[in-house]
Structure 1
């Protein structure tokens, strides 16, 4: 109490010193307010940096950019051509050359195609390419058009038979509106083929590996 009265008396007896003290206190108060505003602004900026783009886009009513799916190329599988050649060999061993010849040629064709034909599954379409460099396969020799079909045009697809896949079938509306059917021998890894078909084109209606 005595100290407070002494300070007040000192300020009253020396107005210049009192005015200087008042300005000093005011300056410190102003500096404190500026620091508080600056800290709040800094925290606000750092807060926005920590928010993921998807969350900001969601708050603003925008859709976040979709991430493209990786390209999948099922590995070649030689079981089918070897099995066909084995059947041809059986007929030849039984002296049934009439059956052995065409089956043997089919087996050789499948063996050759296994070394070069690739199914390429990109983000939005299935495309048939050739060679390890994945070169263009040209137009489809049976129905015309490019050997590339968007998953969104697939009506249905099947894999026969899951335990030892021989044929893959799919129907699409890209080639013609009423639907175009395609059959391909399964000269690829059947499990990889099935998994990527389910992921990109949706579940098959009747086929599924056990």
Structure 2
């Protein structure tokens, strides 16, 4: 699916036939927050306070999945809240990356020259993996 042009690149939302010059916006995935929400129920039966904390965390992740978007451009990973870009991570500053627990991806780790980042996988994991392999092939 190709959307209007953003910053001179075609904006696409699927991983089929990705080109390095295309801007790819990842679709949200609610699998991780919903799994945590469901997991909070039996925990709440054992300990109400811990169950409540886990439930609150899952609601926080649901809100993040609904409001945040990742865009892979030709040179950067951008994070948007709505239409406002809130953070930019240039690939040239990345040293490595890894998706933890590949059968059920739950966490993206990437290291820049001066900082380390952990991002919950609240986006389509297959497109995320494809974009990372294509634009940041070093691991």
TM-score bracket, shorter-length normalisation: 0.7 to 0.9
Deviations 1:188-208 (A, max 9, x none): 01111011011011143xxxx
CA distance in 2 between counterparts of 1:154 and 1:202 reads: 10
Q: Do the aligned partners of 1:70 and 1:122 also contact (CA within 8 Å) in 2? A: yes
Q: Do the aligned partners of 1:154 and 1:170 also contact (CA within 8 Å) in 2? A: yes
Q: CA RMSD in A?
A: 1.5
Residue 60 of structure 2: aligned partner: 109
- The structure carrying a bigger strand percent of its residues is 2
Q: TM-score, normalised by structure 1?
A: 0.55
Deviations 1:57-101 (A, max 9, x none): xxxxxxxxxx97010011100000001101111222x24202101
Q: Do the aligned partners of 1:197 and 1:203 also contact (CA within 8 Å) in 2? A: no
Three-state SS of the structure 1 residue aligned to 2:123 is coil
Residue 42 of structure 2: aligned partner: 90
Three-state SS of the structure 2 residue aligned to 1:101 is helix
Q: Do the aligned partners of 2:20 and 2:134 also contact (CA within 8 Å) in 1? A: no
Q: Do the aligned partners of 1:71 and 1:122 also contact (CA within 8 Å) in 2? A: yes
Question: Which protein has the larger Cα radius of gyration, Structure 1 or Structure 2?
Answer: 1
Q: Do the aligned partners of 1:74 and 1:118 also contact (CA within 8 Å) in 2? A: yes
Task: Give the Å deviation of 1:135.
Answer: 1.6
Residue 133 of structure 2: aligned partner: 198
CA distance in 2 between counterparts of 1:76 and 1:202 reads: 23
From 102, 123, 126, the equivalent of 1:188 is 123
Q: Do the aligned partners of 1:127 and 1:148 also contact (CA within 8 Å) in 2? A: yes
Q: How many residues align?
A: 121
Q: Do the aligned partners of 1:162 and 1:190 also contact (CA within 8 Å) in 2? A: no
CA distance in 2 between counterparts of 1:154 and 1:201 reads: 8
Q: TM-score, normalised by structure 2?
A: 0.82
Three-state SS of the structure 1 residue aligned to 2:24 is coil
- The structure carrying a bigger helix percent of its residues is 1
Long gaps (5+) in structure 2:
1-18
Residue 8 of structure 2: aligned partner: none
